Structure 1
Amino acid sequence: MDSFLKRKNTDQADAEAKKPKREECPHKERCYRKNPHHFKEFEHPFLIQLIEKGDTPEIPDNMPQPKQLYLEQIEILKPILAAQKPKETEKKRVETVKNNMESVASSSSSCGKVSKKGKTTIFTSTSEEATCSPGSMLEKLKKNAPYNLFFTTIPKSQSTFKEVNSVSFTDLLCPSLGPLKCSLQINFMIDIDWLLKQYKARDLHQKPLTILYGDDWPDMIEFMNRFCPNIKHHFVKMKDPFGCHHSKVGIYVYEDESIRLVVSTANLYYEDWNNYNQGLWLSPRLPKLPQGSNAKDGESITGFKSDLIAYLETYKLSILKEWLDYVKNADFSQVRVALVYSAPGKYYPKKNGNHLHRVGDLLSKYCSLPAKTTPQSEGPLSWGILAQASSIGSMGKTPADWLRGSLLRSLASHKQSSPSSNSAATLNIVYPSVDNVAHGYFGLQSGGCLPYSKATNEKQRWLQDYMHQWKADEKHRTRAMPHIKSYCRISPNLNKLAYFLLTSANLSKSAWGNPIQKDGGSSIRSYEMGVMFLPNFFDEEYFKINNSTDNKNSHLFPFMYDLPLTPYKKDDYPWCN
């Protein structure tokens, strides 16, 4: 390895010295990005000209983007330009190359085998029983079974890299999971430049990729048509101006046509995967069904497969036909979570497509709570409901309008009680305060993932009585703001969960559904996707979390924020944009 690195270092150093000028950003003056990695990759001559004019450059009035955007881009670009000036000797530069090579070799060895030529040998088998080296994604998946619930790594908090269930996006492309054939990304915001870099890091950037996205960034289609011949894409335009294509789903197909599914809370751009706390569920390997099987074969005990097919069919897009075929031909029998999704339209109970109905139906059928047999026993109402989100919508003048009359009606359902519009269950909301954001890693800019309107908050100040601060000291995640959305029901002693829902759905009618009408129907505006963890499907009575007193010999369910909760102080105010 040393002789190889020495020879490789010399070659790479020579190549670095001869490296041509970076390509100019194809968006030019229309560039909308604020990702430092983008400015390191592409030249921006017009910004450099502005920087050369002095500390307070005057932005011309005829520029295609807002002036404030250019000023923010300039502040991002300045330290990058300064760092590019030659400050090291050639010896130090070669040493840096050597260190980088050793890092790459180490990273590759964790997800494959490094050959004598320094290349990664991809595993030829996608079996979960395949031998994998320590640190690979397959090993992480095995260690986190059966829940397969992961959180994102936070570079500003190096402790998160030591957590067995912390991952980066490139971990999802780890060769230990299988040789990738093609993939589908369904999301809201996609920085295609950043996304392709993640695939390129695994040498997968030329593999067929299909994307559905809901945020039409400037020149995104032009960029893909110009630079991405392997990408099929479709912008999901919402008919309702208050609706949002907010689902975050990945489907990965391997060479043997087995698949894996990822349901996440993260958009596909740098900040979401590095600056904010996110959650994701990764399915086990779903093998291809034997020839002659039909779409109803290989169903999960939760009905996950048929629900996923129904979700994909709501788009009515020809671009998804091959993906529907992959799903129909896959064996989902090992999946233990239930699929919860929202799609625009009006829905009634016992039908997926609306979070309010689907969650209420699942809990009414599968959620068990202790019966109150004596005055001292717990009883269902002693189990509180926790709702944690990154944004909040308009809920009305009183809690009864929607929060308790519709949302709590769903979240408080259980086997011993049918959905009730006047549930007395306790509800607590976890949402960052201004003080939480101010102490974040990026100061007030840490609140970029929390788009709660101040005007909306002023109309529902009553909501602050339910609010609790964002605090995750135990997981070293307090200073990274939460973009994750989770809902659960917890025991009085805070050590057991009756259920856990990970979803893209924030606390809003658009995501969960409008107030349930007299006919039982509820309309919804947005696309959302989540997975429901129910102990019944994991052969458990309840999920034990990190506060359990008997956790030494039990498999704990991953939980991100601290318990007990920290209520808002009198002078606290929720972070609003």
Structure 2
Amino acid sequence: MSQEGDYGKWSISSSDESEEEKPKVDQPSTSCLPQAEQQTAKEPGYTCSEARRAAHRRKLSPVKFSNTDATSIVSPPKRQKGGSQEDLGWCLSSSDEELQSEALEKQDRTVVVKEEEGLPPPKGSATQQTKNHSPPASHRLKEEEDEYETSGEGQDIWDMLNKGNPFQFYLTRVSGIKPKYNSGALHIKDILSPLFGTLVSSAQFNYCFDVDWLIRQYPPEFRKKPILLVHGDKREAKARLQAEAKPYGNVTLCQAKLDIAFGTHHTKMMLLLYEEGLRVVIHTSNLIRDDWHQKTQGMWLSPLYPRIAHRSHMSGESATHFKADLISYLMAYNSPLLTEWVDTVQEHDLSETNVYLIGSTPGRFQGNQKDNWGHFRLRKLLREHAQFMSEAASWPVVGQFSSIGSLGADESKWLCSEFKDSLVTLGEESRSPGTSAAPLHLIYPSVENVRTSLEGYPAGGSLPYSIQTAEKQNWLHSYFHKWSAETSGRSHAMPHIKTYMRLSPDFSQMAWFLVTSANLSKAAWGALEKNGTQLMIRSYELGILFLPSAFGLYSFQVKSKFFSGSQEPKAFPVPYDLPPELYGSKDRPWIWNIPYVKAPDSHGNMWVPS
């Protein structure tokens, strides 16, 4: 189905869920096509959302900005019955003249900012026109395919992992920014490096896999070690993944069961078994190059867990029950292929863990089982282990995410009822559900954030908020705040990280922090059914909850600069600016499946998704 509007023609799907939270449309497999035909198809070789497919096409075939092109691609804005697109909250401006003048001003400002940061100016700008032309996008992608900047010397990485970071929370490296803003950040090649241990085998849980790329991230000496890929692909997508994995005899596939419609296997975790022990990595990145190149991603790295001595009666459990919770999560797959990994976890001592595991698994849960997964799991942990604060009724909740599902006709349907009731819980004495006045700040990139990003408009391929979802919940946009990370030097690296937290009104103290794969959706967090007696979850998700009590603290001090090492060592490093900045009157949330042709992005291109 298609519709016509102010920004041209766009496709509409029948799902109320966002792209990343609905089943992937089975496309004809390109795995067996000759290389030339695959390039002609201009489709990624791996399974992914339609939003990411559109971004891939635009990287290979960018649509250069020009006023002539803009008017030929998209008809002039038209007033629609029942209000304009601006009233609905997703047009850039109501005036063509205003748009063009603003575009030129913003482009000039972008040139200045980029030059100050040591970055190339937007292509097509006056500054860029005096420089040599860049190679075509397809050639550039090929050149950059194996680009990798080390995070430092071996000793530097070792010190980073073992000194001065009590939280073991890291960001991924970003290409194209100043080195100081990558200090302490990690690339996947760092994580898989021999410096972390002598690898025996590994399991990779994820939503999206580029198998060839993934294998290259392992050091040569580990590339033939057993690798288990845990995925949610079905039918044609599954066949494609099988074809990609077939050349590698050491790769085994494990399909996660998704029996409820519109669910995905969205968990992102690595289990790394070494001769020296076991390490768990829970993160937010798909296993594709784009997610480790110029995006803001987060991860938690466990300590190196030693093997429990033979005949020892030690359980190896932590005060946070991390070991039991990880085993419960793995067993929820009900897969014989994961039995070996359950045994592996059992055989190791996880007692040093000082964080809590929060997972989602597909199903309908009643009674005490409701507290095992999703936002009810978060509610339970906050009730039992968070510090009650009598003054906390006004402490804001901040949620930050890269995709949005259908949340209902108004805020009372889910967001500010059951979901917020979980987020505001603090201790056994928390206020009754539905009565909290705590402000709710939601951080999601605006069109302008995406336009001026390092990747330009294609960065929006990993922000799959769709027009069909947005137009049904315009009420949500009043909660939106801009993505800004100036203090960490990463404002132009669009977020794929997902974080949730509770802070004091002055944003200097934190009651808890969660980094997770779960976006803002009922599919990820769960929604109550049957008069509140049943929690229904569609997807697999996994995250790490940091609570001050597990670190011997009453609350976390907020670290004002993520990469600064001069502050209190137990101050928590928040990866974006606080307090968050509310959208201005002209800001609009990024929506991937409508065109943006009135202003060029940082590469001098427009966004035409079809």
User: Is 1:32–1:69's contact at 8 Å kept on the other side of the alignment?
Assistant: no
For residues 468 and 297 of structure 1, the distance between their equivalents in structure 2, rounded to whole angstroms, comes to 45
For residues 523 and 108 of structure 1, the distance between their equivalents in structure 2, rounded to whole angstroms, comes to 42
SS at match of 1:474: helix
Q: Which residue of 2 aligns with 1:5?
A: none
For residues 207 and 421 of structure 1, the distance between their equivalents in structure 2, rounded to whole angstroms, comes to 51
SS at match of 1:167: coil
For residues 324 and 543 of structure 1, the distance between their equivalents in structure 2, rounded to whole angstroms, comes to 33
State the AA in 1 paired with 2:405. Answer: G
- Kindly tell me: are residues 283 and 81 of structure 1, through their superposed partners in 2, closer, same or farther at Cα, counting changes over 3 Å? closer
1:190-225 Cα shifts (integer Å, max 9, x gaps): 1111100101x4531111111111243662202312
SS at match of 2:559: coil
Shift of 1:428: 0.6
User: Is 1:405–1:422's contact at 8 Å kept on the other side of the alignment?
Assistant: no
Q: Which residue of 1 aligns with 2:437?
A: 424
1:97-116 residue pairs with structure 2 within 5 A?
110-111=153-154
Find the structure with the greater CA-based Rg: 1
Q: Which residue of 1 aligns with 2:203?
A: 184
Shift of 1:107: 5.7
For residues 319 and 72 of structure 1, the distance between their equivalents in structure 2, rounded to whole angstroms, comes to 38
User: Is 1:381–1:426's contact at 8 Å kept on the other side of the alignment?
Assistant: no
Shift of 1:551: 7.2
- Is 1:222 aligned to 2:243, yes or no? yes
1:135-214 residue pairs with structure 2 within 5 A?
135-136=156-157, 138-159=158-179, 162-164=182-184, 166-199=185-218, 201-214=219-232
Q: Which residue of 1 aligns with 2:586?
A: 571
For residues 397 and 55 of structure 2, the distance between their equivalents in structure 1, rounded to whole angstroms, comes to 41
Aligned partner of 1:304 among 288, 297, 322? 322
Aligned partner of 1:259 among 278, 283, 290? 278
Aligned partner of 2:304 among 262, 272, 285? 285
1:472-507 Cα shifts (integer Å, max 9, x gaps): 111111111111000000112211110001111111
Structural RMSD (CA): 3.3
- Is 1:471 aligned to 2:484, yes or no? yes
SS at match of 1:515: strand
Q: Which runs of 5+ in 2 are unaligned?
A: 1-27, 43-49, 63-134, 593-610
Shift of 1:553: 4.2
Q: Which residue of 1 aligns with 2:499?
A: 486
- Kindly tell me: are residues 305 and 478 of structure 1, through their superposed partners in 2, closer, same or farther at Cα, counting changes over 3 Å? same
Q: Which residue of 2 aligns with 1:412?
A: 424
- Kindly tell me: are residues 71 and 463 of structure 1, through their superposed partners in 2, closer, same or farther at Cα, counting changes over 3 Å? closer
State the AA in 1 paired with 2:584. Answer: K
- Kindly tell me: are residues 109 and 78 of structure 1, through their superposed partners in 2, closer, same or farther at Cα, counting changes over 3 Å? closer
Matched residues, percent identical?
34
User: Is 1:293–1:329's contact at 8 Å kept on the other side of the alignment?
Assistant: no
User: Is 2:361–2:540's contact at 8 Å kept on the other side of the alignment?
Assistant: yes
Q: Which residue of 2 aligns with 1:231?
A: 251
State the AA in 1 paired with 2:443. Answer: V
- Kindly tell me: are residues 346 and 83 of structure 1, through their superposed partners in 2, closer, same or farther at Cα, counting changes over 3 Å? closer
For residues 142 and 438 of structure 2, the distance between their equivalents in structure 1, rounded to whole angstroms, comes to 58
Q: Which residue of 2 aligns with 1:339?
A: 357
For residues 164 and 565 of structure 2, the distance between their equivalents in structure 1, rounded to whole angstroms, comes to 19
User: Is 2:559–2:574's contact at 8 Å kept on the other side of the alignment?
Assistant: yes
State the AA in 2 paired with 1:525. Answer: R
Shift of 1:81: 5.2
Shift of 1:161: 5.3
User: Is 1:210–1:231's contact at 8 Å kept on the other side of the alignment?
Assistant: yes
Aligned partner of 2:406 among 375, 394, 398? 394
Aligned partner of 1:240 among 243, 251, 260? 260
For residues 482 and 210 of structure 2, the distance between their equivalents in structure 1, rounded to whole angstroms, comes to 30
For residues 357 and 565 of structure 1, the distance between their equivalents in structure 2, rounded to whole angstroms, comes to 26
State the AA in 2 paired with 1:243. Answer: G
Q: Which runs of 5+ in 1 are unaligned?
A: 1-28, 34-41, 52-56, 58-64, 86-99, 112-132, 372-378
State the AA in 1 paired with 2:251. Answer: I
Higher relative contact order (CA 8 A, sep 6+): 2
For residues 222 and 249 of structure 1, the distance between their equivalents in structure 2, rounded to whole angstroms, comes to 23
Aligned partner of 1:358 among 359, 362, 377? 377
Shift of 1:71: 6.3
Shift of 1:232: 1.2
What's the TM-score, normalizing by structure 1?
0.76
- Kindly tell me: are residues 82 and 182 of structure 1, through their superposed partners in 2, closer, same or farther at Cα, counting changes over 3 Å? closer
Q: Which residue of 2 aligns with 1:328?
A: 346
Shift of 1:424: 1.8
User: Is 1:381–1:424's contact at 8 Å kept on the other side of the alignment?
Assistant: yes
Shift of 1:555: 3.0
What's the TM-score, normalizing by structure 2?
0.72
Q: Which residue of 2 aligns with 1:319?
A: 337
For residues 68 and 576 of structure 1, the distance between their equivalents in structure 2, rounded to whole angstroms, comes to 12
SS at match of 2:421: helix
1:292-318 Cα shifts (integer Å, max 9, x gaps): 246x81111011111111111111111
Shift of 1:44: 2.9
User: Is 1:349–1:361's contact at 8 Å kept on the other side of the alignment?
Assistant: no
